[in-house]
Structure 1
Amino acid sequence: MELKTVSPTVKQPGTTFTGDVYMTPIYFGSAPSRMTVALVRFTPGARTNWHRHDVGQTLHVTEGVALVGTRDGSVVRARAGDTVICPPGEEHWHGATADTFMNHFAMLEANPDGSDPTTWLEPVADHVYEVANKR
Structure 2
Amino acid sequence: MRIGSGGNNTVRGDAEFGGHFTGDVWIDHLARPGEDTELSVQSVYFTPGSRTAWHAHPNGQIIHVVAGEGRIQQRGGDVQTLKPEDTVIAPPGEWHWHGAAPGASMTMIAVQQPDANGRLVEWAEPVEDEQHSA
Please indicate, yes or no, whether the TM-score normalized by the shorter chain is above 0.5. yes
Q: What is the aligned partner in structure 1 of residue 10 from structure 2?
A: 9
Q: What is the aligned partner in structure 1 of residue 120 from structure 2?
A: 117
Judge which range, 23-32 or 83-92, deviates more. Answer: 23-32
Q: What is the aligned partner in structure 2 of residue 75 from structure 1?
A: 79
Structure 1 residue ranges (4+ consecutive) displaced by more than 6 angstroms after TM superposition: none
Deviations 1:77-122 (Å, cap 9, x if unpaired)? Answer: 12111101111111000000011110000101011x2421200111
Establish whether residue 86 from structure 1 lines up as the match of residue 90 from structure 2. Answer: yes
Equivalences for 1:93-132 in 2 at 5 Å?
A: 93-111=97-115, 113-131=116-134
Gaps of 5+ in 2: none
Gaps of 5+ in 1: none
TM-score of the aligned structures, taking structure 2 as reference length: 0.89
Higher strand share: 1
Distance in 1 (CA, whole Å) between partners of 2:35 and 2:10 is: 25
Q: CA RMSD in A?
A: 1.7
Identity between Structure 1 and Structure 2 (%): 37
Equivalences for 1:21-100 in 2 at 5 Å?
A: 21-30=25-34, 33-100=37-104
Distance 1:32 1:114, change over 3 A: farther
Distance in 2 (CA, whole Å) between partners of 1:91 and 1:29 is: 22
Contact 2:9–2:30 (8 Å) recurs in 1:
no
AA in 1 matched with 2:46: F
